[in-house]
Amino acid sequence: MTRTAPIADTVTLHVPFRVVKRGGRKEMQRPDGAPQLRRMDSALVRALARAFHWKRMLEAGEFATIAELAEREGIASSYMTRVPRLALLSPEIVEAILDGKQGPEVTLAQVLQPLPVTWGEQPQHFR
């Protein structure tokens, strides 16, 4: 096989993106209008798993108080009082988080804030 044209030493590739801070870390984001890829937020998924696990433990009577559970888990009680709220998220929001389809405004810090209890009001909370 013979080459008819020389191969360039340098190739320049233009990839449009911007760097944004999200949940205390930097993330690359595609430009507006470009299809967004699924992006699993591991901290958010882990917090969801903990919330449902701790909720089951409390409901089963394994621990009498959240403080007792926090001590056993080695977690600060202030964090322990906020995370179980995630078990009150609407099924649609939980599914979006697990599928990596949540919007950029849905961060762990955001969902740890007090939320509306009714599922119908929750989507407006994240806009």
Residue 102: name the closest of 93, 110, 111 by CA. Answer: 93
Q: How many domains does the chain have?
A: 1
Work out the end-to-end distance of the chain between its first and last CA atoms, rounded to an integer number of angstroms: 59
> Per-residue confidence at 54, pLDDT binned at 50, 70, 90?
very high
The rounded percent of the chain whose pLDDT value lies above 70 is: 88
Please report whether residue 22 resides in a domain.
Answer: no
pTM for this model (two decimals): 0.68
Please report whether residue 113 resides in a domain.
Answer: yes
Q: What is the mean pLDDT of residues 96-124?
A: 87
The chain-wide mean pLDDT, for the chain, equals: 85
Residues of the domain holding 121:
41-125
